[in-house]
C-alpha cells in the first residue's frame, strides 16, 4: 500500500492517450490498491492512473469520500462508509442528450473549480479486478465523475470543457496560489 504523488498541470503526461489493460495481473491489482489509497489521502472522489503517472486505462471512484470544508483526521474517516470501485478499460457506450452541470475540481489542478456541462447520463462498460465485464447506466455525480475520469484516460482535463476566458482565469488563480505557497 502506498500513497503516490499526484501529477499536476502542466505535466505533459496528463495529455497522453492511456493504453488499455490487457491482463489483470499483480501489477494492476497493486496499482488499483495504491490509487485507492492515494484518492482517499487526497480526499478525491475519483482518480485516473495517469494522475499517479501510469498511462493505463484504470480508474478508481468512491463517491462517499466527499471533499469537506473541515479537514477530517484519517482515523476519523469511518472505514465502513468506504466503497471504492476499480474500473478497468472503462468505455462510454451511450450518453444522454440531456445535460447537467457540476462544479468540478481535479486533483491535478489543485483547488481550482469550475462549472462543467456534460451529458446527464451515460452507459458505461468496464472490467473489474476479477476480469468480469460490467455494463451500467449512470446518472448524477457518478455519471459526471466517470466522464471526468474517462477524459483523463484520453488526455482531456475539465478545463478543456470551459470557455477560454474562464480557463485563463482559473490558470492565473492557480499560478498565484502556487506562487504564494512557494
Ligand atoms: O475529487 C474530485 N472531485 C470531482 C468533483 C466533480 C467532478 C469530478 C471530480 S473528480 C475529482 C478527482 C479527480 O481529479 N479525478 O480525476
Ligand atoms: Ni481529475
**Model pLDDT for residues 155-178, shown as the tens digit of each residue:** 999 999 999 999 999 999 999 999
User: Is 135 a known active-site residue?
Assistant: no
Which band of pLDDT confidence, cut at 50, 70 and 90, is reported for residue 78? Answer: low
Evaluate whether 27 touches 57 at the Cβ level (below 8 Å): no
Average pLDDT over residues 122-140: 98
Cell matching residue 182: 512557494
**3-state per-residue secondary structure call for 27-72:** HHHHHHHHHHHHHHHCCCCEEEHHHHCCCECEEEECCCCCCCCCCC
pLDDT tens per residue, range 92-102: 999 999 999 99
pLDDT tens per residue, range 30-65: 999 999 999 999 999 999 999 999 999 999 999 986
pLDDT score at 72: 55
- Cα distance between residue 155 and residue 178, in whole Å: 23
pLDDT tens per residue, range 79-119: 558 899 999 999 999 999 999 999 999 999 999 999 999 99
Q: Residue with the nearest Cα to atom 5 of ligand 1?
A: 104
In terms of DSSP bridges, do strands 122-127 and 109-119 run parallel, antiparallel, or are they unpaired? Answer: unpaired
For a substitution probing ligand 1, which of 4, 41, 46, 155 has the most ligand atoms within 8 Å of its CB?
A: 46
Index of the ligand 1 atom closest to the CA of residue 44: 1
pLDDT score at 80: 55
Residue 66 has pLDDT above 90, yes or no: no
Residue ranges lining ligand 1, Cβ < 6 Å: 44-48, 51, 102, 104-108, 144-145, 148-149, 152
CA of 104 to the centre of ligand 1 (A): 6
Amino acid at each position: 500500500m502506498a500513497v503516490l504523488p499526484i501529477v499536476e498541470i502542466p505535466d505533459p503526461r496528463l495529455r497522453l492517450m492511456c493504453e488499455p489493460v490487457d491482463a489483470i495481473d499483480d501489477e494492476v491489482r497493486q496499482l488499483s490498491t495504491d490509487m485507492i489509497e492515494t484518492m482517499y489521502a487526497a480526499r478525491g472522489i475519483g482518480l485516473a492512473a495517469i494522475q499517479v503517472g501510469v498511462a493505463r486505462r484504470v480508474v478508481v471512484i468512491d463517491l462517499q469520500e466527499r471533499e469537506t470544508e473541515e479537514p477530517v483526521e484519517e482515523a476519523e474517516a469511518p472505514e465502513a462508509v468506504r466503497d471504492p470501485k476499480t474500473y478497468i478499460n472503462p468505455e462510454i457506450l451511450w450518453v444522454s442528450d440531456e445535460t447537467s452541470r457540476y462544479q468540478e475540481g481535479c486533483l491535478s489542478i489543485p483547488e481550482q473549480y469550475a462549472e462543467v456541462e456534460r451529458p446527464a447520463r451515460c452507459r458505461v462498460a468496464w472490467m473489474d479486478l476479477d476480469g468480469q465485464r460490467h455494463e451500467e447506466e449512470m446518472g448524477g455525480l457518478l455519471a459526471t465523475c466517470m466522464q471526468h475520469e474517462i477524459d483523463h484516460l484520453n488526455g482531456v482535463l475539465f478545463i478543456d470543457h470551459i470557455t477560454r476566458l474562464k480557463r485563463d482565469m482559473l490558470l492565473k488563480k492557480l499560478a498565484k496560489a502556487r506562487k504564494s505557497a512557494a
